[in-house]
A and B are shown apart, each in its own frame.
Chain A
């Protein structure tokens, strides 16, 4: 490998990256595998020092870890904290590799600066099947560099933080940092590096009795050559990894001091507040605005028709919202003014009719599906349907912006700080580098905060008015102007042989598939498979919704497998066991969930159990739901969840994510749909877009299998996809009623 070839830096052209440093972002053998960051002095580390090393006597030894004069180690984490607890877990991984004193480890958000582009996060997010390592293909490298440049990287999504940044970046950074500290101490003490031991942020040399804190050698370590292949701990050597450490962000979240986007403000400046109302139909524009009443209302400062939305800026948010409510607007016509949900689904049906048994865009093709189906002993057919869904984060979209003197400051919660920065730059009419981003906790992300539309709005309003403006969407605005989980229809035909074995699988659906493996069933041993998708038009903006395509396909696939099991006259667990004969990890997870639930044991009359298994984001999750049908509307009483995420870095954190994904999934399965009438979204707030509450939430038990310690899976999303099909299958078991369309509540009104 040539060390001197220069490669363009991902985000901006300032500074030069050597090929080793850049490839070091992905290849262990070529140097440290530190994600998207140069890791040795002389590279962008120097420019980062100004930003990150704020305190006296602090030395930035690489872009991931900072050691202060007080021996406090700060993990600089390029992901946002939106509840998943990943930043804390990543710090735990760093601290373990460094042999750091956990009591003195802190976590800090990376600044929204191009130097923190997490190329590896992009890789895991966009191409989950890709394995990094020594033989990185130039084409992949080229592709991801390109995406990094365009997209600005620094993404929190795809359940990728721990398994990409943590596993492929932070651990190696930690190990490298430790080796550099050891090398510096060895030089100072004139002893062999191999004789130096590390523990609790201390370096020691037993023979000479020397012992000093890491901080003592921070400066000297920064001048050391980066280890080409820092040695990582094996799972047996873990001290912190694999333990249920308390999260570092929680104390601030119990006393009101946690700083969310909505709490941000420029110091010493009187904020003004903006309420906004966007044109109700995608693509429509404000034709006229009658603000006669609003003008005279208390506190109102400015009223703006921005073309795509109307805004009122006032002394207080409530005043702004009241004034906004009084404004009468009319909108220009669009070609979807007459569209409603039924018409849209009819269009989807037509597209699927056209695709038929072998048309559309092929996603997977094995064997002879049509021929084997023809000769099947028994055929099973079903069509499933799911609606659009909103994210409904607890914290509505909001952004505070202040534009003055060609500069823009923003305070907001976002999953993509670099895109948000560009979005603000666009709105404020300044360059990306003129935007200062003040990061904050996210009051929920779930994919919604991958879209910085609200940031652009705030910058535009701030620029037009000259005020520092806190722009907050009402809940109604948040519900009606989301980037929605796509609605979809999925059709299946399955063929069973004489032994009741599934020998052919033919599926066609509408949604494009993100991630690509979401509709695929390669872990099931089915010899003839065809999976296709038919192109359709969507009348709403689409976005990533927790677990993305798995949220639909998990329901479709696992409902259909259940129907096939019943058609074969087999127990749904037994039927899946046969299909998983060649997938031992999946089988373990299935068996784990079945055992937890006491599968097969008696339940009271009117109660039922259902099982579902989905692999997503490189984790395998099976869930058994128990349902009580005796009171009319189904009530989920218990969910048993078995998860194999490779290795649980923080078992309590993984468990919490499973619990969270299950409730999020059940909420959607039971209650929610976004529907269209006359081209616009009908739902507005929690009374018509219902949330699961404590009195209808099930008891949840989680069991963890560490099935592949070196092949980590995600946590934030994989708990969700099995929840809906497990519940639907339980309803069938309890009542004989097969749910093929979500939400479930509409079948029990």
Chain B
């Protein structure tokens, strides 16, 4: 296979030579809801439970903010942030499978609920140079719930 960097314009015009050929139809099309049928509206997820009362369940829900970057299942691969399963009691910058910043490795922090709370309050203030540039959780209640949730997973 070849892909030659022709001058951009010529490359693009060559691409257009194929114009007029029939567009590729779907090979497989699963229609869950017919167009033009009853307005689909916005469906509520069936599995969504009402807000839980206990702190750990609240924390699990609040962790959605973190889940874009952090995996939480034991053994799951790290994403943009490290896996947080078992984080309480762990020395900062030591979780496997994640490339920590020198700043985090040298922070000397061992994660407790209080340390996590303080880190989530203002990550850059707690560990200057951390790559967690956007992980602050402003709501103290949410922080409390998240740390409780994380603590519940530390066994």
Contact partner of A538 (CB less than 8 A), chosen from B3, B19, B44, B81, is B3
| Residues of B close to A456: CB separation below 8 A | 23
B133 at the binding interface (Cβ < 8 Å): yes
B25 lies within 8 A of chain A by Cβ? yes
Task: List the A residue with the shortest CB-CB distance to B48.
Answer: A298
**CB of B4 within 8 A of chain A?**
yes
Q: Chain A contacts of B35 at CB under 8 A?
A: 301, 465-467
Q: How far is the CA of A486 from the CA of B8 in the complex (A)?
A: 12
Tell me the bound Cα distance from A314 to B40 in angstroms. 9
Say yes or no: is B138 at the interface (Cβ < 8 Å to chain A). Answer: no
Q: A282-B1, A282-B3, A298-B45 are in contact. Are A428 and B23 (CB under 8 A)?
A: yes
Interface presence of A511 (CB below 8 A): yes
Q: B19 contacts A450, CB within 8 Å? A: no
* Contact present for B46 and A298 (CB under 8 Å): yes
B6 within 8 A of partner (CB)? yes
A295 contacts which of B5, B18, B25, B32 (Cβ < 8 Å)?
B32
Cβ contacts under 8 Å, B41 to chain A? 315
Instruction: Output the nearest chain B residue to A288 by Cβ-Cβ distance.
Output: B28
Shortest beta-carbon distance, B59 to chain A, in Å? 21
Bound complex: CA of A129 vs CA of B3, how far in Å?
27
Contact B29 A157 (CB under 8 A): no
Cβ-based interface call for A299 (8 A)? yes
What are the interface flags for A283-307 relative to B under an 8 Å C-beta threshold, 1 for contact and 0 otherwise?
1001001010001001111111111
Instruction: Let me know if A299 and B9 touch, CB within 8 A.
Output: no
Measured CB to CB, the closest approach of chain B to A348, in angstroms, equals: 13
B15-58: CB near A (< 8 Å → 1, else 0) gives: 01111111111111111110110011111111000000000000
Residues of B within 8 A of A544 (CB): 8
**Beta-carbon contact of A427 and B31 below 8 Å:** no
> What is the chain B residue whose CB lies nearest that of A416?
B12
The answer to whether B80 has its CB under 8 Å from any CB of chain A is: yes
Q: Which residues of B contact A301 (CB under 8 A)?
A: 31-33, 35, 40
Identify the closest chain B residue to A431 (Cβ): B20
Taking a contact as CB atoms under 8 Å apart, the answer to whether A429 and B39 are in contact is no
Q: Measured between alpha carbons, how far is A335 from B1 in the docked complex, in Å?
A: 8
Segment 301-328 of A: residues with Cβ below 8 Å from B: 301-308, 315-316
Are B17 and A511 neighbours in the complex by a CB distance under 8 Å? no
Give bound CA distance, A31 to B72, whole Å: 71
Give the distance in Å from the alpha carbon of A693 to the alpha carbon of B132 in the complex: 13
* Least CB distance, B52 to chain A, in whole angstroms: 20
Q: Is B74 an interface residue (CB 8 A)?
A: no
B98 to A: closest C-beta gap in Å? 10
In the complex, are the beta carbons of B16 and A302 less than 8 A apart?
no
Inter-subunit contact B23/A304 (CB<8 Å): no
Interface size on A, residues (CB 8 A): 71
Does B7 contact A514, Cβ atoms closer than 8 Å? yes
Contact assessment for A147 and B19 in the assembled complex, using a CB-CB cutoff below 8 Å = no
- Give the docked Cα–Cα distance between A305 and B102 (Å): 44
Q: How many B residues have CB within 8 A of the partner chain?
A: 47
Instruction: Select one of A336, A416, A460, A632 contacting B1, CB under 8 A.
Output: A336
Is the beta-carbon distance between A291 and B30 smaller than 8 angstroms? yes
| CB proximity to B under 8 Å, residues A235-294 | 270, 282-283, 286, 289, 291
Q: Which residues of A contact B42 (CB under 8 A)?
A: 299, 315-316
CA distance A451 to B12 in the complex (A): 8
Within 8 A of B (CB), among A105-135: 122, 125-126
B16 to A419, Cβ gap below 8 A? yes
Q: Given A427-B23, A460-B23 in contact, is the A302-B5 Cβ separation under 8 Å?
A: no
B81 to chain A, nearest CB (A): 8
Which residues of chain A have C-beta atoms less than 8 A from B102's C-beta?
Answer: 632
Asked if residues A539 and B29 are in contact (CB atoms below 8 Å), the reply is no
Please tell me which one of the listed residues A155, A463, A537, A687 contacts residue B23 in the complex, with CB atoms under 8 A apart.
A463
- Chain A residues within an 8 Å CB radius of B26: 304-307, 464
CB of B131 within 8 Å of the partner chain: yes
Counting CB contacts under 8 A, is B155 at the interface?
no
A698-731 toward B: CB 8 Å interface, digit per residue (1/0)? 0000000000000000000000000000000000
Q: How far is the CA of A157 from the CA of B1 in the complex (A)?
A: 28
Q: Is residue B69 within 8 Å, beta carbon to beta carbon, of the partner chain?
A: yes
**Quick one: which of B26, B35, B43, B69 has the most chain A CB within 10 A?**
B26
Q: Knowing that A152-B16, A460-B23, A687-B79 touch, tell me 18 more A-B residue pairs with CB under 8 angstroms.
A: A147-B9, A147-B13, A150-B16, A157-B8, A286-B27, A289-B28, A298-B45, A303-B28, A307-B27, A419-B12, A426-B18, A464-B25, A486-B5, A514-B8, A515-B7, A685-B80, A686-B80, A687-B69
- 5 closest A-B pairs by beta carbon, nearest first, are A687-B80, A150-B13, A305-B28, A303-B30, A151-B13
9 sample A-B contacts, Cβ–Cβ < 8 Å, listed by A number? A282-B3, A295-B32, A301-B32, A301-B33, A302-B30, A303-B28, A306-B26, A306-B27, A632-B102
